Amino acid sequence: MPNQLNRVRLKTAKRVVIKFGTRVLVDSRGRPNPVRIQAIVDQVSELVKAGREVVIVSSGAVGAGLDPLGFAKRPTDLVSLQMAAAVGQTHLMRMYSERFEEKGLAVGQILLNHDDLKQRNRHLNARNSLLGLLRKGIVPIVNENDVVSVDEIRLGDNDYLASLVSVLVDADALLLCTSVNGLRAPLTGNRTQRVAYIPEISKKELELVNGKGSELSTGGMATKLGAAQMANRAGAVSLILDGRKPDALTRALNGDDLGTCIGRVDDSGRIKGKRKHWIAFFHKPTGKLTVDAGAEKALRFSGKSLLAAGITNVEGQFSTGAVVEVRNKDKKLIGSGLCQFTAEDLRLIQGKKSNRILEILGPAVSTEVIHRDNLVLLTEQE
């Protein structure tokens, strides 16, 4: 029954983010496959003309830049990858643009990196741009800005990017198109069967995952499961499916039982509110706070803010306003939030009562380390 209900959610989804992995878009030599791209354009055009809003997250830019630069295979050094992405983006977008134009639709290119989504003003600008394009009936095509990205600001892979975009635009559904028809579970011998539905990702599902992708791609099934879980926590239903089939998208969004559908049908485990989405999904924590049992109980069950008295350890170097992880005495992650102290000041006041904080740091400071409104728990207790 939950699988059927989620298939109905896919069928009725108004706003959809669809990610196409490298192995969906390229041929055996790693170059863009015009036949596959045409099939994608045909299906997306049909969806848009039927009243859906569709955002494409597309891999394939590096592959599209290989031939123009004379590379026999995907390079491994950063500069060559950035060169291939710079050249390949124009080729890939031209392929999309020309084909969508034949269908009477326009496309808009959006290049993002982690800083674009972390900084509040840029985050809102990206959201407004995407929503504006959708309102005009334009198909946004999103990719990571590989030309300027380095490790510190990289999102990492397009599964993660697609999940962030789905949160950014309040998508109803996230489709992760790859070269397999969902997650596989073992039967007897060497046989496997498709897993049609998963309510949420647990250790059990992760143990079914094999491999990290191929030399053509950076992601694998593990990253897709993680991306699906993130989208689910923001309220979208997710689907991992074989995007190489010429009718996979239209069938999946018609409610057909394809791929692996992921997501609870109720609100349990869902993070609510735009600000908490921004904190939970669009930041890389720069520090860790360990709290005692009393503080953990207050956070989880009493809706309290985190106070210095409950902190037993501070890890990392961070400034005021940074996102930090909150962990219990067993190092298990409780949640994350915006810290109102620097790491240096926090080490001075950890474990101390509020009146001692004023004595040590002065009366101008807050007595709350992380305010409840700026705290996101793994299992929300709203």
For residue 85, what pLDDT is reported?
Answer: 84
Whether residue 280 is contained in a domain is answered as no
For residue 156, what pLDDT is reported?
Answer: 54
Question: Which residue positions in the chain have pLDDT lower than 50?
Answer: 150-155, 211-219, 380-382
Whether residue 272 is contained in a domain is answered as no
Quick one: 51 and 169 in the same domain? yes
Quick one: 258 and 313 in the same domain? no
Quick one: 251 and 293 in the same domain? no
CATH number at residue 334: 2.30.130.10
Whether residue 269 is contained in a domain is answered as no
- Out of 262, 294, 329, a domain closes at 262
Quick one: 14 and 72 in the same domain? yes
What angle do the packed helices 158-168 and 221-233 form, to 10 degrees? 10
For residue 367, what pLDDT is reported?
Answer: 83
Quick one: 247 and 364 in the same domain? no
Quick one: 257 and 292 in the same domain? no
For residue 215, what pLDDT is reported?
Answer: 42
For residue 248, what pLDDT is reported?
Answer: 94
Quick one: 234 and 290 in the same domain? no
For residue 208, what pLDDT is reported?
Answer: 73
Whether residue 278 is contained in a domain is answered as no
Whether residue 276 is contained in a domain is answered as no
User: How many structural domains is the chain composed of?
Assistant: 2
Quick one: 18 and 132 in the same domain? yes
Classified as helix, coil or strand, 316 is coil
CB atoms within 10 A of CB 130: 22
Long-range Cβ contacts of 204-212 (<8 Å, 24+ apart): 208/183, 208/184, 209/183
Cα four-point dihedral sign 234, 236, 242, 247: negative
Residue 78: partners with Cβ closer than 8 Å, 6 or more residues away: 150
**Separation between Cα atoms, residue 62 and residue 75, nearest integer Å:** 9
Quick one: 46 and 193 in the same domain? yes
Domain that holds residue 298: 285-377
For residue 214, what pLDDT is reported?
Answer: 46
Q: Which of 103, 133, 121 is nearest to 42 (CA)?
A: 103
CATH number at residue 38: 3.40.1160.10
Quick one: 330 and 221 in the same domain? no
For residue 140, what pLDDT is reported?
Answer: 97
For residue 371, what pLDDT is reported?
Answer: 94
Quick one: 167 and 98 in the same domain? yes
What angle do the packed helices 274-281 and 158-168 form, to 10 degrees? 170
- Out of 262, 294, 313, a domain closes at 262
Whether residue 372 is contained in a domain is answered as yes
CB atoms within 10 A of CB 206: 12
Quick one: 174 and 246 in the same domain? yes
**Separation between Cα atoms, residue 291 and residue 332, nearest integer Å:** 10
